[in-house]
Amino acid sequence: MANPVRISAVIITFNEEGNIGRCLESVREVADEIVVVDSYSTDNTKEICQKMTVIFLEHQFEGHIEQKNYAVSCAKYAHVLSLDADEILSERLKQSVLSVKQNWQFDGYSFNRLTNYCGKWIRHSGWYPDTKLRLWDKTKGNWGGVNPHDRVLMAAHSRVCHLAGDLHHYSYNTIKDHLDQINSFSEIAARAAYADGGHANLLLDIVMNPLLTFFKKYFLKLGILDGYQGFMIAIHTAYGKFLKYIKLRELEKSAGRLTGTSRN
């Protein structure tokens, strides 16, 4: 049997007063330390954290990947559990993590994420099982991907095990919350694509991509079974694709990268 390990829970925040208390409470039993890295919240996030037994740090936000890697670097222990402020461990997942602490055998551990969208748990629409790797040995992996869609990238030949239990994700309380995030994330995605030399094709990306995205989410991924919320998810995901590519096209136009355009 492997030796018991200590786990650092790491969480990044910005104006999460409605979520952070629930998140911290869910990891209290499994974590040997809790590190919260906040990007200078203007609400009561700091006050809520300071009332609980956590290490609260403030750090300028430079991107989701950068901020999460900074938070991991602040962890005292090599074994880290990374959550977003709007996520909590279900009771079954909590028991799985406690078992892993007593018998750590792999480099990383994944589990399914179940999302609550405007009061409804979404089990289709391509949103479930939504497997995430969030518990790992930080010497074997770190955050990567493309902002804002970050993910943990493990070193070659790392061994990963899947745990029983769901990570509960309280995504959006209202449709407006979803639309606000779509606007923010599409801006980040467009700028990341532009920096990488991406191009927005009028027919394929701006017209066809959103239509195919809706069809995939609502029909192929059975969003229709999620009722009204499934329709909202499908149409808003398609809208997010549309926004990303028109914003990318505007960036190209401003820089004169589109054929027949100039900065003037």
| Residue 262 in this model has a pLDDT that exceeds 50 | no
Closest CA to 229 of 126, 128, 117: 117
Helix ranges restricted to H, the chain: 20-27, 45-50, 64-73, 91-102, 175-195, 209-215, 227-255
pLDDT at 246: 97
Number of H helices and number of E strands within the chain? Answer: 7, 11
Q: What is the pLDDT of residue 1?
A: 53
What residue type is assigned to position 64 of the chain? H
- 200 touches 49 (CB < 8 A): no
Closest alpha carbon to 86 in 188, 17, 180, 164: 17
Q: List the domains of the chain with CATH numbers.
A: 7-170 (3.90.550.10), 175-255 (no CATH)
pLDDT at 264 over 80: no
Q: Is the pLDDT of residue 47 over 90?
A: yes
Residue 108 pLDDT > 80, yes or no? yes
The pLDDT confidence band at residue 120, using thresholds 50, 70 and 90, is very high
Q: Is 233 exposed, middle or buried (0-12, 13-18, 19+ CB in 10 A)?
A: buried
* Distance between CA atoms of residues 32 and 21, nearest Å: 17
pLDDT for 259? 59
What pLDDT, on the 0 to 100 scale, is given for residue 5?
97
Apex 24 CA angle, 113 and 6, nearest 5: 85
> Model confidence at 3, in pLDDT bands (50, 70, 90)?
confident
**pLDDT digit string, tens, across residues 175-201:** 999 999 999 999 999 999 999 999 999
| Rg for the chain, CA atoms, rounded | 20
Query: 151-165 pLDDT, tens per residue?
Result: 999 999 999 999 999
Coil vs helix vs strand at 144: strand
CA angle, 23 then 27 then 30, to 5°: 175
Q: How many CB atoms lie within 10 A of CB 160?
A: 16
Measured distance between the N- and C-terminal CA atoms of the chain, rounded to whole angstroms: 68
Query: At 198, is the secondary structure helix, strand, or coil?
Result: coil
Return all residues near 195 (Cβ < 8 A) that are at least 6 apart. Answer: none
In this prediction, residue 2 carries a pLDDT of 63
C-alpha–C-alpha distance, residues 59 and 91, integer Å: 31
Q: How would residue 221 be classed by pLDDT, with cut points 50, 70 and 90?
A: very high
